[in-house]
Amino acid sequence: MPSIIDVRHVYKAFGGLKVINDCSIQVEKGSITGLIGPNGAGKSTLFNIIAGALPLDSGQVLLDGEDITNRPANELFHKGLLRTFQIAHEFSQMTALENLMMVPPKQAGESLFSAWLKPGLVNQQETAVRQKALEVIDFIGLHHVRNELAGNLSGGQKKLLELGRTMMTDARVVLLDEIAAGVNRTLLGDLVENIERLNREMGYTFLVIEHDMEMIARLCDPVIVLAQGSVMVEGTIEEIQNNPQVIEAYFGSTAA
Ligand SMILES: Nc1ncnc2c1ncn2[C@@H]1O[C@H](COP(=O)(O)OP(=O)(O)OP(=O)(O)O)[C@@H](O)[C@H]1O
């Protein structure tokens, strides 16, 4: 399988602190790849670099063979590379459904000019967007709270909504940053199921940062372990869990 994301020899330092250090990873198209590592290993920094939120010092990032090094996040969004955040950032004063309807980037209704010139087109687009939002909200199991203000949703429901927002665009790769944090087990099950379905039924590729090992074990193959800014080891979850280097990096020598 070809790589959809190809990170090549990336370096990044903050002041004198080398955070990403000759890091190369490949994410296979159609995979759910896990990215784990001890605190401060550089996982979020690497995510920020891939997603265009942070410039790298040297190296290269390719998306499906195209050089996207240091391209801005909004450009990558249009290319189908999306990132969800550690803290869901919904518009709290809009309903869940409206939050989904906000997403499409090329909505003619956003432009006053096109609304004035082509009101029919705007109406047509809005109907199509609403229809798609209703389908998405069904898919993520939030139909019953579609008219609830997003600010009133539970933490887990907000994360489901965040995942739903990626479905409103033609996402190809979604970077998930610690979405399990603070989510109860039932909703976590829903999240995992939805990620699996998006992967299976819609061909999404996922790159997942997660501290919750149960979630990594259930979802991810392969798993990449980052330590001190570069790849320590990559393999199946079983291979990772039994790797002495990984045990050492996580727990120190006492656990080995
Ligand atoms: N904007 C910044 N300025 C300076 N140092 C930073 C910045 N962002 C991250 N760092 C440092 O870079 C290192 C890696 O941080 P990063 O958040 O990428 O690690 P992580 O693997 O995601 O950690 P965690 O699992 O704890 O979230 C840390 O030492 C952190 O303090």
Give 90's pLDDT tier (boundaries 50, 70, 90): low
Q: Cα of 210 to ligand 1 centre, how many Å?
A: 15
Most confident of 94-108, 110-124, 158-172, 233-247: 233-247
Instruction: Please list, in sequence order, all residues whose beta carbon lies within 8 angstroms of the beta carbon of residue 183, skipping any fewer than 6 positions away.
Output: 155, 156, 159, 191
> Is the per-residue pLDDT at 223 higher than 70?
yes
Domains and CATH numbers, the chain: 3-90+169-255 (3.40.50.300), 91-152 (no CATH)
> Is the CB of residue 159 less than 8 Å from the CB of residue 181?
no
At residue 4, the pLDDT reads: 97
Which of 15-24, 99-108, 125-134, 158-167 has the weakest average pLDDT?
A: 99-108
> Is the per-residue pLDDT at 252 higher than 80?
no
At residue 196, the pLDDT reads: 93
> Is the per-residue pLDDT at 253 higher than 70?
no
Does the N-terminal peptide bond of residue 222 adopt cis geometry, omega within 30 degrees of 0?
A: yes
- Token pair of 129 as six digits: 């967007």
State whether residue 95 is helix, strand or coil: strand
Give 107's pLDDT tier (boundaries 50, 70, 90): very low
Closest ligand 1 atom to 178 CA: 27
At residue 116, the pLDDT reads: 56
CA nearest 3: which of 242, 180, 234?
234
pLDDT in tens, 29-88: 999 999 999 999 999 999 999 999 999 999 999 999 999 999 998 888 888 898 875 445
At residue 160, the pLDDT reads: 87
Q: What is the pTM for the complete model shown?
A: 0.85
> Is the per-residue pLDDT at 111 higher than 70?
no
Q: Cα of 11 to ligand 1 centre, how many Å?
A: 14
Of 7, 17, 18, 19, the residue with max ligand 1 atoms within 8 A of its CB, to mutate for a pocket test, comes to 19
- Mean residue pLDDT across the chain: 86
Of 7, 14, 208, the residue with max ligand 1 atoms within 8 A of its CB, to mutate for a pocket test, comes to 14
What ipTM was reported for this prediction? 0.97
At residue 114, the pLDDT reads: 52
What DSSP letter does each residue of 20-86 carry, written as one string?
A: EEEEEEEEETT-EEEEE-STTSSHHHHHHHHTTSS--SEEEEEETTEE-TT--HHHHHHTTEEE--S
**Alpha carbons 35 and 158: distance in angstroms, whole number:** 23
At residue 89, the pLDDT reads: 62
Residue nearest atom 25 of ligand 1, based on CA coordinates: 39
Give 250's pLDDT tier (boundaries 50, 70, 90): confident
At residue 115, the pLDDT reads: 53
